[in-house]
Amino acid sequence: MSSPSDGFVRTHPEIADALAEGRPVVGLETAVLTHGLPRTGRATPDCLRPDGRIAGLLGDDVRWDDGAPLNLQAVSLVSQAVRQANAVPAVIAMIDGVLRIGLDDDELAALALDESARKASNRDFAALSVSGASAGTTVAASMHACGLAAPEPIRVFATGGIGGVHRGWTERPDVSADLRALGSEPVVVVASGAKVILDLPATLEMLDTLGVPVIGYRTDALPIFTVGLSEELEVPHRLDSADAIADACRRHWGEFAQSSGMLVANPCPAEEAIDPHRMDVLVDAGLAEAAAQGIDGSGVTPFLLGSMIADAEVDPVSANLALLIANASLAGEIANAWSTDRSV
């Protein structure tokens, strides 16, 4: 196990103290910061309206600067949602070749503006460390980092949506490392299901093959990122409280000695979800344009987001921000419930 001051893996003192004292901690990824959301400013997203549910998850101090980088403000609000839920946010990234579990505000701001920052999966740690690179961490990378935290591992992690089995996988077997991480890293991941560009039935089947419990939070249907709930796919299990989810985690890793992670599927808030039929049209058109331009792999998601932002009929940024905040808040609740009994 690493110590807070290990050379290539460092746990921020606030995170290390919280873990040592058994206080709730939530891991957060940074690929959304470096590659998921624009660095430009924008008007206040609809989801932050004062009378809305999302603003209520942030407490009394909801700030938005139309001219500040959107990506940085989004991650800051996600961290705020974790703190509002009485947990400590552990923002994970690679900075100058060092895997950092917890960042200061200045470090986070620098990474948000660093256009040379890479996107790191867990396979990339060693090479990026040797080259002294900075990078945002994917779900897979962040889950592994949670296990490297010191003096105790982080057990709860929040993100927007997981990667999975890509469309056309029968011709090109493109499967996200997120699924393998979920099958092997003992972390509970709170996400709004899988990203809409994926082959969702194949992704759900792969999670089953890998032995990953998929738990719908107050839903029987599979959440599909920004479009709400699937009309065809069901989740294997449903639990309706953070306490029940934390108890399931204890039994999964404790009494039943399982080693996989757990996926808690939390639907995008209904008032912010994008119409699924309009989304299908946009995704199909965006994928066709990406293919025509030779864009593939990790470049597809930001390309699609950019094309959707240009469409006047949808607001993917508001939907993304809403689900990120909602997932962080729920993760904070689960971390609180988990910290009451650290028997595993």
Which residues does the annotation mark as catalytic?
Answer: 29, 195
Instruction: Answer whether 227's CB lies under 8 Å from 303's CB.
Output: no
Q: Using alpha carbons only, what angle is made at residue 257 by residues 85 and 329, rounded to the nearest 5 degrees?
A: 10
Cα–Cα dist 176/340, whole Å: 33
Which spans in the chain are helix H?
Answer: 13-21, 31, 53-56, 70-84, 105-113, 125-131, 139-148, 177-184, 200-209, 242-253, 276-292, 300-309, 316-339
Which pair of structure tokens corresponds to residue 98?
A: 């060092």
Which pair of structure tokens corresponds to residue 9?
A: 């893996």
Distances in Å between the Cα of 288 and the Cα atoms of 172, 194, 294, 303, 305 are 16, 20, 10, 11, 14
Distances in Å between the Cα of 106 and the Cα atoms of 13, 110, 111 are 16, 6, 9
Instruction: Answer whether 303's CB lies under 8 Å from 291's CB.
Output: no
The residue among 173, 147, 178, 177 whose CA lies nearest residue 161 is: 178
Which pair of structure tokens corresponds to residue 216?
A: 């719908």
